[in-house]
Amino acid sequence: NESFSFLAVDLGATSGRAILGTIKNDVLKINEINRFPNPIIDINGYLYWDLLYLYRQILKSLGEINQQRIDIHSLGIDTWGVDFVCFGNDGEPLRMPYSYRDTHTFGAPEKFFKKIPKEEVYNKTGIQIMNFNSLFQLATLKERNSSIYPVIDKVLFMPDALSYLLTGKMVTEYTIASTSQMMNPYNKTFDASLLEAVGLSEHNFAPLVFSGTPIGTLSDSVKQQTDTGNIPVIAVAGHDTASAVLATPAKNENFAYLSSGTWSLMGIESKKPVINEETFSLNFTNEGGADGSIRLLKNICGMWLIEQCKKEWEKEKSVTYAEIVKEAEKVQPFTSFINPDAPCFAAPISMIEAIQTYCKETNQPIPQTMGEIARCIYESLAFRYKQVLTNLQKLADFPIETLHIIGGGSQNNMLNTFTSNAIGMPVIAGPSEATAMGNILLQAKAAGLVQDKSQMREIVRNSVELTTFTPNNTLLWDKHYYDYLKVYKEL
């Protein structure tokens, strides 16, 4: 009946948090210790992450733990994918890391495919082609003759870089490395020809480790600054999505998941990579799972759409998501749709204008009010989920019977209802802190407290209240799905 506490540092592309998890009698209780924004910093048109600020927020969280006299067993860090920090051979960071939203990688894949054809890159990695994948970021740095490129000793992905700042030990954790588009998903090692194409080799990466491996303990400098002891830092599933999927409260295998945050990641678990003409043409990805399985999924532009609009509305007066949903409930349904994944929504100067322009160009009514714009976003997302789920079912060798929506976006009951109606399938919503829970459960595994994924999922089910949404009005949603598809195809 002993209880064990762990600290999860979960960094998303808009905000970060430190969450304390305590496990007792197979129940996991979580408690937020620190929450902070993680803004992208624009310097002369380049977009960066503030590595030192993130480091300081982790120290602040440790200090808080210490002040509250909580004993933690270990700490683990997960972050968004693909971004990395370069280090020189003296072990010092060479430059602040770029954000994947930086536009300097636009067009980079097409240039790269002149060296290695697109299909070959996909077949080698199984990773969906996205301009910001680490492979194309590195290719861009090299091509631009970036001054740091010749002196790069090690490339560390975001969670590994932060763990290194805390411990002085360098590792490359498998799930986060899989997002780079430089790894072979069959033997789970770097692909030498892809590394060579960007002028690097395996020596430019720290040793590969699998999720749940201890990296080291806090350095003397961190201990002094935070007044803490020899706390181990664990390489959890460094990729946030991998941590979240691990904490999906599924009872059996016949499910799909939707990890809903800034991105909506929709997929299934697969024992083996699924790489074929169909997954290539649909641009599905095979990312590494925390238990060695494959996350066959697709990136869908998710809450980013509403987050960006909210920022604009807030220039006038502050507004909560609950208020936005309330407004959306009042307006005429099924009026205009967008393709959430159209390139015009990736990094627009004004999201509201981008949505209005899209509607204008596709001859639809132009949404004006907050409610109209939000409704357009939520209905379009629900239809996009249906579209991707239909493709997933073609690829899955089992019947998908339930959709688990996890992550912060799972708190939006309007969107959960829309999604269930659109897909004609039950939606189970929660937990909203799936990523932190997956992070904590992997630390618990490293500590020998839990054995495997099914036990972790049982703990999640014991620990949170889940809400089920059953489909309603499916005929009406089916009818409007065709309107959405027409618009989707037009642009």
Three-state secondary structure call for residue 281: helix
> Does 21 engage in binding with ligand LFR (CB under 6 A)?
no
Q: Please name the residue ranges forming H helices in 269-313.
A: 277-282, 304-313
The CB-of-471 to ligand LFR minimum distance in angstroms stands at 27
- From 38-46, 75-83, 337-345, 481-489, span contacting ligand LFR (CB under 6 A): 75-83
Q: Is the dihedral of CA 416, 419, 420, 425 positive or negative?
A: negative
The CB-of-84 to ligand LFR minimum distance in angstroms stands at 11
Complex with ligand LFR: residue 264 or 417, whichever CB lies closer: 264
CA Rg, the chain, in Å?
Answer: 22
The CB-of-364 to ligand LFR minimum distance in angstroms stands at 29
- From 107-115, 238-246, 353-361, 391-399, span contacting ligand LFR (CB under 6 A): 238-246
Closest CA to 248 of 240, 256, 237, 239: 256
Q: Site for ligand LFR (CB under 6 A): which residue of 12, 214, 288, 431?
A: 12
Residues of this chain, 242-271, that bind ligand LFR according to CB under 6 A: 261-263, 265
> Does 80 engage in binding with ligand LFR (CB under 6 A)?
yes
The CB-of-71 to ligand LFR minimum distance in angstroms stands at 30
The CB-of-325 to ligand LFR minimum distance in angstroms stands at 22
Closest CA to 303 of 221, 385, 191: 385
Closest CA to 75 of 58, 51, 60: 58
Complex with ligand LFR: residue 100 or 385, whichever CB lies closer: 100
- The catalytic position among 78, 83, 240, 291 is 240
Closest CA to 427 of 447, 439, 440, 409: 409
> Does 241 engage in binding with ligand LFR (CB under 6 A)?
yes
Question: For this structure, is 240 an active site residue?
Answer: yes
> Does 100 engage in binding with ligand LFR (CB under 6 A)?
yes
Residue found under tokens 């691990």:
246
370: phi then psi, degrees, rounded to nearest 5: -55, -45
> Does 488 engage in binding with ligand LFR (CB under 6 A)?
no
Complex with ligand LFR: residue 100 or 190, whichever CB lies closer: 100
Residue nearest to ligand LFR (CB): 81
The CB-of-241 to ligand LFR minimum distance in angstroms stands at 4
Closest CA to 259 of 418, 429, 384: 429
For the chain, the straight-line distance linking the first and the last C-alpha, in angstroms and rounded, comes to: 59
Complex with ligand LFR: residue 105 or 417, whichever CB lies closer: 105
> Does 81 engage in binding with ligand LFR (CB under 6 A)?
yes
Residues of this chain, 454-483, that bind ligand LFR according to CB under 6 A: none
The CB-of-222 to ligand LFR minimum distance in angstroms stands at 26
Q: How is residue 449 annotated by DSSP?
A: S
Q: What is the rounded distance in angstroms from the CA atom of residue 459 to the CA atom of residue 437?
A: 10
Closest CA to 73 of 443, 463, 439: 443
Complex with ligand LFR: residue 34 or 262, whichever CB lies closer: 262
- From 2-10, 80-88, 110-118, 186-194, span contacting ligand LFR (CB under 6 A): 80-88
Q: Is the dihedral of CA 141, 264, 261, 6 positive or negative?
A: negative
Residue-wise DSSP of 254-312: -EEEEEESSEEEEEEEESS---SHHHHHHT-EEEEPTTS-EEEEEEEE-THHHHHHHHH
Cβ contact 94:148 at 8 Å: yes
Complex with ligand LFR: residue 242 or 274, whichever CB lies closer: 242
Residue-wise DSSP of 97-135: PBPTT-GGGTTHHHHHTTTS-HHHHHHHH-PPP-TTSHH
Query: What are residue 23's DSSP bridge partners?
Result: 4, 28
200: phi then psi, degrees, rounded to nearest 5: -120, 170
- From 47-55, 56-64, 78-86, 213-221, span contacting ligand LFR (CB under 6 A): 78-86
Complex with ligand LFR: residue 80 or 284, whichever CB lies closer: 80
> Does 240 engage in binding with ligand LFR (CB under 6 A)?
yes
> Does 226 engage in binding with ligand LFR (CB under 6 A)?
no
Half-sphere exposure of residue 444: CA atoms within 13 angstroms, side-chain side: 33
- From 41-49, 79-87, 346-354, 364-372, span contacting ligand LFR (CB under 6 A): 79-87
Q: What is the rounded distance in angstroms from the CA atom of residue 37 to the CA atom of residue 53?
A: 10
> Does 137 engage in binding with ligand LFR (CB under 6 A)?
no
- Does a cis peptide bond (omega within 30 degrees of 0) precede residue 37? no
> Does 299 engage in binding with ligand LFR (CB under 6 A)?
yes
- Which positions are annotated as active-site residues? 240
The site for ligand LFR (CB under 6 A) is made up of: 12-13, 80-82, 100, 239-241, 261-263, 265, 299
